Amino acid sequence: MRILYVTQIVPYPPHGGVLQRGFNLLRELGREHEVHLLAFHHADELPPGPAYDESLRELGKFCRSVEYFPLWVKQSRVKRLMGFAAAAAYPAPYSVLSHRSGALAHRIAAICGESRRPDIVHLDTIALAPYARYCNGIPTVLAHHNVESQLMRRRAQAERNTLARIYVNVQADRLERYEKEQCTRFPLNIMVSENDARTLAQLVPGVRTAVIPNGVDTDYFHPRAEKGDPVMIYTGGMNMFANRDAVEWFLDSIWPRIKEKVPDAKFLAVGQRPSPRVRAAAAKDAAIEVPGFVPDVRPWVERASVYVVPLRVGGGTRLKVLDAMAQGKAIVSTRVGAEGIVGEHGAEFIFADDPDAFANAVVDVLRDKALRERLGATARARAESDYAWPMLGRRLAQEYARVLEERR
């Protein structure tokens, strides 16, 4: 197949979330198919320079062509503020406004008008749905990393600032209307979990979905013998609201309860752009380490006896959790944190949703080596059986082929 793959961000470096999923699926598709990548470039995440050039080289190893287009709201602070101001009067969600690009639309139309046009187009988020009109009738699938309206509603519930909560609720309403308007226009919506597929089907009756879950590189992430120290870790860029909220909630409401019972406990909050509240907590307590972004998370996870997932906001599936499973870690999570991942309480995970229960669960796991080993071994086995990227790449290609067959 000849595949045109359009993404909302350059999927490199493949560190977490959307980047990790995009990179690995593109790599697997590129093994057997001709893939052409068009991606929005976020200048604040991948500034021009060596890393930018490296991304073109690395993605070019499995994509026949790679082209970037500037995300206009990330070009300057002024444009970012202009975007927020314009969104007040814009009827569609802010994410749709921020991803408007005449240059990208023109390029998609040109590629889809060539004699060797793509067999299928993949649009990698709901904000890219408007570009389907430039695909010249070529079958086009729409991917969802979350049900975005649900994600926004959960964020609104966690927002402390009243004005921010109102704004996020408005965006959630617009996203829900937009999902209802757009999703049935596509022959297939790619979801990352059965939960998300059910949620979208309830929201948009008649929508067609297929689930391609997030995955993990089980060779890169593999178990190492733990040291047995009372160390907990959470990984995730705190530039994302869900991760920032998770770490701040853990430090405010859970960490003091754990320290009371395990005085020598340590907590590692690993991820880019830690918030001032997180940095302040680390400055006051030497048992809290906040290294910021790290190029390789594996040594940090190896230090921990327990991987904690205190997420209260989210959708889809968390790749960070799959990585921890592949490393054979005992995981204590909220149900939201492990949502969309196959696993049961007492087998792959220990679930706890309120501060007391979460703290008690962590303390129990810290004190019981046999329990940690059993949880870690079960989690690793699940990662190997259900979430290896090569299998998921083949499944995605099969879904593309099914759409094409139905068009014949």
Q: What is the pTM of this model?
A: 0.81
Q: Average pLDDT, stretch 14-32? A: 92
pLDDT band at 85 (very low <50, low <70, confident <90, very high): confident
pLDDT of residue 81: 82
Task: Please measure the distance between the N-terminal and C-terminal CA atoms of the chain and give it in whole angstroms.
Answer: 15
Is residue 127 within 8 Å of residue 98, measured between CB atoms?
Answer: yes
Question: Which residue intervals of 285-349 are DSSP H helices?
Answer: 298-303, 319-326
Q: Please provide the average confidence, as pLDDT, over all residues in the chain.
A: 93
pLDDT at 317: 57
CA separation, residue 217 to residues 21, 79, 200, 388 (Å): 11, 38, 28, 6
Supply 159's token pair. 């927002």
pLDDT greater than 90 at residue 12: yes
pLDDT at position 149 = 92
pLDDT at 315 over 60: no
Residues facing residue 363 across a β-bridge: none
| pLDDT band at residue 60 under the 50/70/90 scheme | very high
Structure tokens that stand for 171 in this block: 């965006």
Among residues 206, 211, 146, the alpha carbon closest in space to that of 176 is found at 146
Task: Among 104-108, 317-321, 330-334, name the one with the lowest average pLDDT.
Answer: 317-321
DSSP conformation class of 250: I
How much is the average pLDDT of 45-73? Answer: 95
| pLDDT(16) > 60 | yes
> If you write DSSP's letter for every residue of 260-280 in order, what string do you get?
HH-TT-EEEEESSS--HHHHH
Q: What percent of the chain has pLDDT over 70?
A: 99
Domains, the chain, with CATH or none? 2-214+388-407 (3.40.50.2000), 231-386 (3.40.50.2000)
Indicate if the pLDDT at residue 338 is higher than 80: yes
Instruction: Please report the pLDDT score of residue 225 as a whole number.
Output: 83
Q: Is the pLDDT reported for residue 281 higher than 70?
A: yes
**Phi then psi dihedrals of residue 210, to 5 deg:** -140, 145
Nearest-angstrom CA–CA distance, 171 and 84: 11
Residue 295 · residue 274 · CB < 8 Å? no
What is the arithmetic mean of pLDDT over 146-158?
87
Mean pLDDT of 321-345: 94
Only one residue has tokens 């879904």, namely: 399
Mean pLDDT of 296-318: 87
Continuous H helices in 68-189:
77-87, 94-98, 102-112, 148-158, 162-182
Please tell me the predicted confidence (pLDDT) of residue 50: 94
